[in-house]
Amino acid sequence: MHASDPAAVSTAAAPVPSHESERARTHRGSFPSVGDTPLRPLARIVADQGGGFELSAKLEFLNPTGSVKDRAAALIVQQAFADGRLEGGRTLIDASSGNTAVSYAFLGARLGFPVELCLPRNAHPERVARIERYGARVVFTDPLDGTDGAQREARRRATADPARYFYPDQYNNPANPEAHYRSTGPEIWRQSLGRVTHFVAGVGTGGTISGVGRYLKEQRPTLEVVGVEPSGPMHGLEGLKHLPTALRPSTYDARVVDRTIRVDTEETVEMRRRLVSEEGLSVGMSSAAAVLAAVQVGRSSPGAVVVTILPDAGHGTPEDPS
């Protein structure tokens, strides 16, 4: 991301408190750049639908660790250094379905602070391996409890030993949507030349859809924000939440989201295959789910200029998304 961009999630863009420690000032100069990812038209996917609308995808898997979660994690850690919450060798502990955990682990290795992550035991092995390669500790929780169970365990550990842990709680940290309000939203508005009419994004922590949606609606109040969720509580769409049966993150702003489309895992697998074969994009299941819903939005809104988010790259093959 360019340091001159006022919307950038960069250390240079953040206010520096007068009480900031020397250690924090040193780390400010070491933060990796995130953002400024391309906005790419999905022309073949649209052509297969007979045209009549535009659809572009923000390639968030081009961030440093390969996911959109780098944006929120960077701002969360940046603020924690600024106000001293990561001083004194404290360990960052949080819950994740995988991508944010990788981002935290990367930042811990880059900036020199210990990291402990609570993940459901069915988190993708490749993500777990990456976390551990960065030197972070993984605590597995019951896979049947999903990320809700991981949240409860992270909170339990942080409450039991507050002197040891800094618990940012990505699901309820206002820096999560703020990162996207500052960077992702302005990037989409600029890259779409201010033409975007519909924004479609998966709902996990809710930070991306809330932050981007709030910014874009300030630019165009008539813009429609569409959330994407799994069709039921038992699903194969890693990273997405079925909000009616899950802990609702406070980072999800329901006032911003105009409607929700729920998608099936099998249809998402098929869209993932198509993104590989027709667009050359090897993406994860949450990315394919977002495109599936975005196509529905475009089909029902002739002339629409739809933008969606591809949060991360794929693991395995389209036939075996595990």
Distance CA 68, CA 61 (A): 6
Catalytic residue from among 58, 69, 217, 241: 69
14 CB contacts (<8 Å, ≥6 apart)?
A: 75, 78, 79, 82
Is 34 in a helix, a strand, or coil? Answer: coil
Q: Which of 220, 215, 177, 170 is nearest to 195 (CA)?
A: 220
Distance CA 282, CA 135 (A): 27
Query: Known catalytic residue: 286?
Result: yes
Residue with tokens 């991301």: 1
The helix or strand, by DSSP H or E, that contains position 254, with its residue range, turns out to be: none
Q: Which two tokens stand for residue 88?
A: 């004194």
DSSP letter, residue 107: H
Helices (H), 172-206: 175-179, 185-191
Distance CA 186, CA 134 (A): 31
Is 18 in a helix, a strand, or coil? Answer: coil
41 CB contacts (<8 Å, ≥6 apart)?
A: 54, 55, 56
What angle do helix axes 69-82 and 99-111 make, rounded to 10 degrees?
40
Kindly report the number of other CB atoms within 10 A of residue 217's CB atom: 18
Q: Is the CB of residue 229 less than 8 Å from the CB of residue 240?
A: yes
Catalytic residue from among 183, 210, 286, 287: 286
Q: Please give the backbone phi and psi of residue 97, each rounded to the nearest 5 degrees, phi first.
A: -90, -10
Distance CA 106, CA 108 (A): 5
Query: Known catalytic residue: 103?
Result: no
Residues facing residue 229 across a β-bridge: 262
Active site residues: 69, 286
